[in-house]
Amino acid sequence: MSVTLKIFDNNKVIMVFIKKFKKSEEFEKIKSFINNKNAKKIALQLPEGLKTQSREIIDSITDLDCDVLLFADPCFGACDIPEDSAKQLNCDVIIHFAHSKYLKNIKIPILYVEYRTDNNKEIIETLTKNISKLKEYSSIGLITTLQHINSLDNVKEILEKNNIKTYIGKPKLATYKGQILGCDQSSAKDITEKVECFLYIGSGLFHPLGVARDQDKPVWILDIEKKELNHLKKEYEKYYTKIILKKAKFDIAQNIGLLVSTKNGQMDKNIKPIKTKLEALGKKVYVLVMNHISYDKMEGIGIDFLINTACPRLEEDLTFDRPLLNWNTLKQYL
Ligand code: SF4
């Protein structure tokens, strides 16, 4: 059976590979995990980009003499593990595709089938071609997302051959050195004192913008899709302007919706101090609890401004006719 795996990031296909799923390394890992755990009932989670292949994946796992339950709600990331529902449905294990370990102490055995891209060649070519842009730095911190983590050693080698010292920091929540998530940029913070700038390997602006916002250092992007090496300055200025405009709207807002997610890795269980702080600013605060936060669930509530305590990506993704800021962003301006 031939399977095409398409992984989406920012709604674009960033990786396509075709292989015999049953002959793949991933399938071997799944097989030994199921055998080791003696699992008979499997909770399966796939990213949206893999849904079109879900029947092939389910059939392959079912052939191992297992029942497979596809948890078909949109899966945000490894912060979004349905451990309680899987337990209620008597699943023995969870198999989660496309992300690395994030949550500790999950109540049910879980296998993360991670994904990586195979574009080292393009990364090396793009960096080599543009290396002169980085010559003014003597120390650079490397950051990336899970799919490009294998390229860090090659990037380090090229920079060091060009007499640029490189540092790769240790994350708190993410799994690998140098890995960043929207909600965990601690691998950048870990080395910020040692470096003159950061080099982000990947595509999209969400992750590097977070680093530019929180670390007072220039951020460069080795853009895998465009095959370019660019400074983030202009994009950061646009982002910063947007934040300042939203802050001005917050200042005049009266009724605030404080968004709390029930997803296990996104849930802020300690919102009382946030609520108290907002109330001290003269705001009326309504706590809105949802699993999947979406516009339709808030229609008609009559809120002027939303403050998000769940996945930071909502700040850029959520389409709502009210302004929204992440609490972690807003609190820096209060
Ligand atoms: S950035 Fe959002 S989706 Fe990704 S792990 Fe963090 S909370 Fe989850």
Residue 19 has a pLDDT of: 53
Specify the ligand 1 atom closest to the Cα of 266: 7
CA of 258 to the centre of ligand 1 (A): 18
Specify the ligand 1 atom closest to the Cα of 184: 6
Q: Which residue has tokens 């001290």?
A: 280
Please, what are the averages of pLDDT over each run of 10 residues along the chain (334 residues)? Answer: 43 45 87 98 92 89 97 91 96 96 92 86 96 97 95 96 98 96 95 98 92 94 95 94 96 97 93 98 98 88 95 80 92 93
3-state percent breakdown (helix, strand, coil) of the chain, nearest 5: 35, 25, 40
Q: Tell me, rounded to whole angstroms, the distance of Cα 186 from its chain centroid.
A: 13
Specify the ligand 1 atom closest to the Cα of 310: 7
| C-beta neighbour count of 1 within 10 angstroms | 11
- Whole-prediction pTM: 0.88
Q: Which residue has tokens 């200042």?
A: 251
Residue 316 has a pLDDT of: 80
What are the structural domain ranges in the chain?
Answer: 2-113, 120-231, 246-333
* Structural contact between residues 222 and 295, judged by C-beta atoms closer than 8 angstroms: no
Hey, which CATH number is domain 246-333, 3.40.50.300, 1.10.132.10, 3.40.50.11860, 3.40.50.150?
Answer: 3.40.50.11860
Residue 7 has a pLDDT of: 47
Residue identifier of the C-alpha nearest atom 6 of ligand 1: 183
To the nearest 10 degrees (0 to 180), the angle between helices 54-62 and 25-37 is 50
CATH class of 120-231: alpha beta
CA of 134 to the centre of ligand 1 (A): 30
Nearest to 249 by CA among 324, 333, 300: 324
CA of 94 to the centre of ligand 1 (A): 18
Specify the ligand 1 atom closest to the Cα of 78: 5
Is 272 buried (19+), middle (13-18) or exposed (0-12) by CB count in 10 A?
Answer: exposed
Query: Which of 266, 268, 309, 329 has the most ligand 1 atoms within 8 A of CB, as the residue to mutate?
Result: 266
CA of 311 to the centre of ligand 1 (A): 5
Residue 112's beta-bridge partner residues?
96
Pocket of ligand 1 (CB under 6 A): 76-79, 102, 181-183, 265-266, 311-313
Per-residue CA distances from 172 to 85, 102, 299 (Å):
27, 9, 37
Helix (H, G, I), strand (E, B) or coil at 265: coil
- Domain 120-231 shares a fold with domain 246-333: yes
Dihedral sign, Cα of residue 139, residue 144, residue 149, residue 151 = negative
| C-beta neighbour count of 296 within 10 angstroms | 7
Q: Tell me, rounded to whole angstroms, the distance of Cα 290 from its chain centroid.
A: 20
Judge: domain 2-113, CATH 3.40.50.11840. Answer: yes
